Amino acid sequence: MKRWNGWGDEKNNLEFDLSNTSQDFIESIIGKSTTLKEMTLAQAVAKVPPTRSPEHPLIDTNEEIRLRHCWGQSVPDWLAMRSGGASIFPDGVAFPETSDEVQEILKFAQEKDLIIIPYGGGTSVCGHITPEENVRPVITVTLSKMNKLMALDKESQIATFGAGTLGPDIEKQLAEEGYTLGHYPQSWELSTVGGWVASRSSGQQSLRYGRIEKLFAGGRIETLQGTLDIPTFPATAAGPDIREMFLGSEGRMGIITEVKVRVTPIAEHESFHVAFFPDLKAGMTATREIVQQGIQLSMMRLSNPVETASHLKLAGHDTMVGLLEKYLSFRGNSDGKTMFTFGTTGSKAQCKSALKLTRKFISKHGGVYIGTSLGKHWEHSRFRSPYLRHGLWDAGVMVDTMETCLDWSKVQDAMKGLESDIANSLSEEGENVHVFSHLSHFYGQGCSLYTTYLFRVGEDYKDTLQRWQKLKSAGAEAIVRHGGTISHQHGVGKDHAPYLPAEKGELGIKAIEGMCHLFDPDGRMNPGKLVP
């Protein structure tokens, strides 16, 4: 079972403690911190109020189950679950096993005037699934029992999954048939295919497999107005695409119950590599040229100098890192160097050619290719970083991220502006914030910018939440000011909703509201998220 107040599964109890070197490094930047007192599961369950839900065989009103479906993984969610500070809980959790049962719950919601929150894996980092104050009872509908590969058309390479299927279960069921979806968000272990579609997610290897928009071919959606079946076509010119309406719909228009995705045979070869560039400018030029030349890599990530230095420090292999730094310095990559991680996936011949071409660009821009050892480290730890949040929390440190996507011409200024605004946003309190960024998800036109920040918890939970609010709004305002989208991959939810009009415009917001109203005239589907 998923942890009630953190990341991962309760059984495997995987922790990611901070090494002493890591802790010293963080303290040297933001100062020493202390942990906040936490509530136990029993104490938190005791705070769940009596249910207001009418009885239904598919709805469970048990307090612990309601508590376990109350939060996602945003900082406000994390603080609410650790402190037991939430006051609003779903009144019940529905566990449908078929699309017909989902439709039955929606009919019941209309009959009894209930609010509905669709729930995938609960990994939202923008307040997508947290209930809001409402006079109507709130029912969270989890798709967790709709978790199977339902059909595989090998000729057309289309797989149909129950919308609640988790990342590892998707890959396991496809691997038995020799196929892969290749969609690996960092939250892959705990997020679902329906959630990916509903929040427009992007996987780490989007360069090869594409974002979920490219993988989502059609499916079935249950709405308050009836069932919508979206057929699969390789391409169509038949007017606006209905798939697009539900990509990023965030539970506002209906419940996705079956997802048809485009799959591919498992690649013959895959490996991950690392190179260093002398500075950010060289790294950015090289990566832009690589993607604009169409070299077939499966992933690229360019860490800026602070992220590079932080990762090398936090890697925990001091001797090996020391030797590496000496070698890089000898080759002209010292202070200000940037780390470039990239992947080759495909046939052996294709990977060999992609590596050869990439290395030409690395050399052209003064970079140093160091092979696959750090690439293997990245591959091994690609889904472990979320556990690090536990180690940081125990040291009294909070971590959060902001992400956007911009045209190439705006990227460098945006990175500078975003980082400095976040770093300065707690200066009134005399608090230092550790901020670093990387570029990932590369396109010919631009790339996504992903900024991480670490800060000390405040005196108490309220104070910590206030610190986060300042940091978050500084970051979001900087994104808007620099012409980026408010989200490249995490979606809108509650936390990004105030910034959506800046990119959609008044008429654009009205169009989205119009679609929500068409499917949900009484405003009972996940109110308060995406658009007010």
Ligand X SMILES: Cc1cc2nc3c(=O)[nH]c(=O)nc-3n(C[C@H](O)[C@H](O)[C@H](O)COP(=O)(O)OP(=O)(O)OC[C@H]3O[C@@H](n4cnc5c(N)ncnc54)[C@H](O)[C@@H]3O)c2cc1C
Alpha-carbon gap, residue 247 to 217, rounded angstroms: 11
Nearer CB in complex with ligand X: 166/351: 166
Indicate the residue among 337 and 488 with the shorter CB distance to ligand X: 488
- Give the number of other Cβ atoms within 10 Å of residue 6's Cβ: 17
Which residue lies nearer to ligand X by CB, 22 or 223?
223
Nearer to ligand X, 389 or 467 (CB): 389
To ligand X, the closest distance from the beta carbon of 256 in angstroms equals: 4
* Alpha helix segments (H runs only) across 10-159: 20-30, 41-46, 63-68, 75-83, 99-112
- Min. distance of Cβ 510 from ligand X in angstroms? 21
Residues 6+ apart with CB under 8 A from 399: 388, 389, 392, 452, 453, 454
Closest to ligand X by CB, 80 vs 370, is 80
Min dist CB 184 to ligand X, Å, is 8
Cα Rg of the chain (Å, integer)? 23
Min CB(163)–ligand X separation in Å: 4
Q: Which residues lie closer than 8 Å to 442 by C-beta, 6 or more apart?
A: 207, 287, 288, 290, 291, 300
Cβ 192 to ligand X shortest distance, Å? 4
Q: Which is nearer to ligand X, 2 or 360 (CB)?
A: 2
Structure tokens at 298: 């499966």
Report whether 132 contacts 91 (CB < 8 A): no
* Least distance between ligand X and beta carbon 157 (Å): 22
- CA 353/CA 53 separation, integer angstroms: 60
* Closest CB to ligand X among residues 222, 337: 222
Judge contact between 119 and 129, C-beta under 8 A.
yes
Position of minimal CB gap to ligand X: 195
Burial class (CB in 10 A: 0-12, 13-18, 19+), 242: middle
Residue 359, φ and ψ in degrees, nearest 5: -65, -30
Chain centroid, CA 56 distance in Å: 33
CB 249 → ligand X: shortest distance, Å? 7
Between 141 and 480, name the residue whose CB sits nearer to ligand X.
141
Residues 6+ apart with CB under 8 A from 458: 464, 466, 467
In the block, residue with structure tokens 């500078």 = 416
Q: How far, in Å, CA of 526 to CA of 118, rounded?
A: 7
Smaller CB separation from ligand X, 160 or 202: 202
Q: Which two tokens stand for residue 514?
A: 């119009």
What's the min distance (Å) between Cβ of 116 and ligand X? 9
Tell the smallest beta-carbon distance from residue 204 to ligand X (Å): 6
d(CA 256, CA 513): 19
Q: Give the whole-angstrom CA distance, residue 440 versus residue 301.
A: 5
Backbone φ, ψ for residue 430 (5° rounding): 70, 25
284 residue type, one letter:
M
Cross-sheet strand order for the sheet of 255-262: 149-153, 158-162, 255-262, 216-223, 226-230
Of 467, 461, 397, 389, the residue nearest 80 (C-alpha): 461
Smallest distance from ligand X to CB 16, Å? 12
The letter for the amino acid at 80 is A
Closer residue to ligand X in complex, CB, 117/299: 117
Enumerate the H helices of 257-317 as residue ranges: 280-292, 305-314
As measured in angstroms, the least distance from the Cβ of 196 to ligand X is: 4
Shorter beta-carbon distance to ligand X: residue 360 or 384: 384
Q: How far is the CB of 362 from ligand X (least distance, A)?
A: 25
Minimum CB distance to ligand X, residue 493 (Å): 6
Q: Which residues bind ligand X (CB under 6 A)?
A: 72-73, 117-125, 128-129, 143, 163, 185-187, 191-192, 194-196, 198-199, 201-202, 250-251, 255-256, 386, 489-491, 526, 529
Alpha carbon distance 258, 272 (integer Å): 33
Q: How many CB atoms lie within 10 A of CB 153?
A: 12
For ligand X, the closer of residues 115 and 370 by Cβ is: 115
| Nearest by Cα to 437 from 330, 302, 274, 334 | 302
Nearer to ligand X, 53 or 199 (CB): 199
